[in-house]
Amino acid sequence: MVWTWALLLLFSSDPSTAGPLHAQCKVDWFLGVGCSEAYEALVSQIKAWRSMSSCTTGGQRCLYKLQSASVHFIEAKHTTPFKKHVDNIHIRLMPFHFFSCCHISAMSISQTWYAIKDHGINYCNLYNLMEGSGLTEARGYREFTSDFMCTQRSSANCTVY
């Protein structure tokens, strides 16, 4: 019975909206700057957006909370300002090319167990930090993700979310 339900769910879903079965996002970024510089920029941005005052002009660039941080790992939470949904953020920073470049692997996962679609909020949780910290302008900036890895990424509007 369980297998029948799982197969029905799998094959009845619209392939144009395929992606994770839970609201989440995984993104990889490659930067031509060192991981220590990227780390400092991301931690500073999380701290700068900790209060609701960052969202007075709209969007969700607020209510980030740093959980823990070391030069290779950052753990944070983001709370949506109106519905108060919480997403867990995990960021791993890995140096490469003789430590002059940084590979950032990041995930944002909705704590709401029943969340399936999120309008790209988990993608925006991560992208907004990268953009706000100025890292999207870093030398060699490259982003790798997809709708398969990020719930509703292609329809995400990060000025709203």
Domains of the chain: 22-155 (3.30.530.20)
Mean residue pLDDT of the chain comes to 86
- For 18-62, how does the pLDDT look when each residue is reduced to its tens digit (9 = 90+)? 455 678 999 999 999 999 999 999 999 999 999 999 888 788 999
- Euclidean distance between CA atoms 135 and 42, whole angstroms: 8
- Amino acid 21: pLDDT: 66
- How many whole angstroms separate alpha carbon 129 and alpha carbon 132? 5
3-class secondary-structure state, position 23: coil
Classify residue 31 as exposed, middle or buried by CB count within 10 Å of its CB (0-12, 13-18, 19+): buried
- Which of 17-21, 41-45, 63-67, 85-89 shows the lowest mean pLDDT across its residues? 17-21
Q: Give, to the nearest 10 degrees, the angle between helix 121-132 and helix 35-48.
A: 110
